[in-house]
Every structure is written in C-alpha cells, then in structure tokens.
C-alpha cells in the first residue's frame, strides 16, 4: 500500500483547508499570554543544545525554542517599565510601576550578583519572520543603555504630543505617525577575560507587513493594561516556565 501511494500524483487535490491562513495561526496559539523574544548568550538552554549562543529566540515550551537568528526586524509599538524577580521560580514577581516599593526593591536587588532580578524597559513589538506580537525586555546592565535607541521608532500619537507639550517640551511641527521598523542585532562584549552577547539597535529600511489597525490597537491596549496595582505574581505548573503578560 505504501508503494502504491508513493506513485500517486496528488498535486491536483482540491483545497485542503476551511478558513483563512491567519485563523490557523491564531488557533494554534497555546494561550493568551505574550511570548518573549530573548537574546541567548549563556545558560542551560544553550548547554542543552536547544539554541546556539548569540541568537534571538522565542521559548515556545520547556523543550522548544524558535531560533530567530542573530538579527531580527521588529516594529516597536509600545513600551512600559518592568521589574522582574525570578528568585522563586514557583512565584515570579513582575512589577510595572517604577514608583512602587516592589519595583524599587527589585531594582535595588538587580545590582546583586546572581539575584535573579532584572529591571528596565519592556517593548511590545511585531516581529517580521513570525508575524507575531512579542515582548522584548531590555532588563540587564548591558541591554538597558541600548533600549533608548528604540524610542525614536515608536509610534507618535496626538496624546503623546499633548503630554510632551504639557511637560514643557517644544513639539511645534510634530504630527502623529505610525511606528518605524528597526533591526535588532547582536554584538559580543568582552571585559576582564569574560565575554557575553548584547543587543544592538540599528535602523531598518524595509517595511514590515502589519495586521489590521484594530488588531494592533487591541494588542497595545492589552500590553499597557496593568492589573493588581502594577504587580503580578505568576505561578506555573511544575515543569513549565513562568510567563507574564
């Protein structure tokens, strides 16, 4: 039977799906949480061969990482402050209020060696190759200075212009505009015999295909809607990594 099937010409089959390609992408998502694009430099995932060092990747599950390569194009859509305490893997603490005591405590402890604490700026982006909305978190000492290079590429709304004018900034001639694409590359940093990988932001001239405006607005609103007073405790079943929106 297998030999018989191998000789059949199946190139003229009728349509093999009901629904649009986009709907299948949505239906195949594991849950309503935002995936994070990470820069992999060192650690267990690399030691286990899940992804090479110096690559951008999306952790799909405990055992799978999507390797995006050493350069990715993204469309930055929104930003928020973020502090992350992963010292207790069963109850990861996330704070988005930089003025809160929780955020400041995590920020202070992030300077301690092996504290499992990070703080910095989290961006909502649309990544070109996957077409996914994802988070990129510039949360360590090496990446935080690079985060500000993304600011000029974020969309500018009328409310942004009004807010800056109210703060005393000269916004004459400023008009609302959409986001601009950027390329996130990776460079190798070296100091005192140690080496590690850092993000590098450069201009991208090629446009990125976007979904409908309503979809982008929905994702931005979800990204900027902070619950529980700006602090979340994320618990995951044993064997799964903690995730936060």
In a domain, 61, yes or no: yes
Measuring CA to CA, how many Å separate 160 from each of 1, 82, 164, 167, 202?
A: 66, 20, 6, 11, 24
Mean pLDDT score, 229-245: 52
CA distance 238 to 245: 19
- Which pLDDT tens digit goes with each residue over 99-121? 999 999 999 999 998 899 999 99
CA distance 216 to 83: 25
DSSP annotation string for 180-239? --EEEEEEEEEETTEEEEEEEEEE--S------HHHHHHHHHHHH---GGGEEEE---TT
In a domain, 128, yes or no: yes
Q: Which two tokens stand for residue 91?
A: 């109850």
Q: What pLDDT, on the 0 to 100 scale, is given for residue 210?
A: 95
Q: What pLDDT, on the 0 to 100 scale, is given for residue 62?
A: 87
Mean pLDDT score, 31-60: 91
Chain-centre distance for alpha carbon 21: 23
In a domain, 84, yes or no: yes
Q: Which two tokens stand for residue 202?
A: 């450069």
Read off the pLDDT band of 242 (50, 70, 90): very low
In a domain, 200, yes or no: yes
Read off the pLDDT band of 241 (50, 70, 90): very low
C-alpha dihedral (215, 216, 218, 224), degrees to nearest 10: 160
Q: Is the model's pLDDT at 159 over the cut of 70?
A: yes
Read off the pLDDT band of 203 (50, 70, 90): very high
Q: Is the model's pLDDT at 226 over the cut of 90?
A: no
CA distance 93 to 80: 16
CA distance 128 to 106: 32
Relative to beta strand 72-85, strand 182-191 is antiparallel
Count of structural domains within the chain: 1
Query: CA angle at residue 127 from 125 to 239, to 5 degrees?
Result: 85
Mean pLDDT score, 157-168: 91
- Which pLDDT tens digit goes with each residue over 56-68? 999 998 889 999 9
Q: Which two tokens stand for residue 161?
A: 């212009």
In a domain, 110, yes or no: yes
> Which residue range(s) make up the domain with 213?
32-151+180-234
Read off the pLDDT band of 80 (50, 70, 90): very high
Q: What pLDDT, on the 0 to 100 scale, is given for residue 134?
A: 97
CA distance 16 to 99: 54
Query: Based on C-alpha coordinates, what's the Rg of the chain?
Result: 21
In a domain, 215, yes or no: yes
CA distance 47 to 49: 5
Q: What is the pTM of this model?
A: 0.81
Q: Is the model's pLDDT at 3 over the cut of 50?
A: no
In a domain, 186, yes or no: yes
Average pLDDT, the chain: 86
In a domain, 115, yes or no: yes
């Amino acid at each position: 039977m297998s030999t018989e099937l191998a000789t059949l010409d199946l190139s003229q089959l009728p349509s093999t799906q009901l629904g649009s390609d986009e709907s299948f992408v949505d239906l195949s998502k594991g849950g309503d949480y935002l995936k994070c694009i990470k820069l992999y430099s060192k650690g267990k995932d690399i030691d286990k061969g899940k992804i090479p060092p110096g690559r951008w990747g999306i952790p799909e599950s405990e055992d799978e990482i999507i390797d995006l390569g050493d350069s990715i194009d993204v469309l930055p859509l929104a930003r928020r402050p973020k502090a992350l305490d992963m010292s207790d893997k069963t109850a990861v603490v996330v704070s988005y209020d930089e003025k809160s005591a929780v955020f400041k405590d995590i920020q202070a402890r992030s300077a301690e060696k092996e504290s499992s604490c990070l703080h910095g700026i989290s961006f909502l982006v649309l990544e070109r190759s996957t077409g996914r909305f994802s988070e990129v978190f510039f949360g360590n000492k090496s990446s935080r200075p690079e985060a500000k290079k993304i600011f000029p590429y974020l969309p500018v709304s009328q409310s942004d212009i009004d807010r800056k004018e109210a703060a005393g900034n000269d916004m004459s001639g400023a008009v609302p505009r959409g986001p601009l694409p950027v390329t996130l590359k990776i460079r190798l940093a070296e100091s005192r015999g140690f080496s590690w990988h850092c993000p590098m932001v450069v201009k991208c001239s090629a446009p990125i295909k976007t979904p409908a405006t309503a979809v982008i607005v929905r994702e931005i609103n979800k990204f900027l809607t902070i619950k529980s007073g700006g602090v979340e405790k994320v618990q995951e079943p044993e064997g799964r990594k903690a995730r936060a929106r």
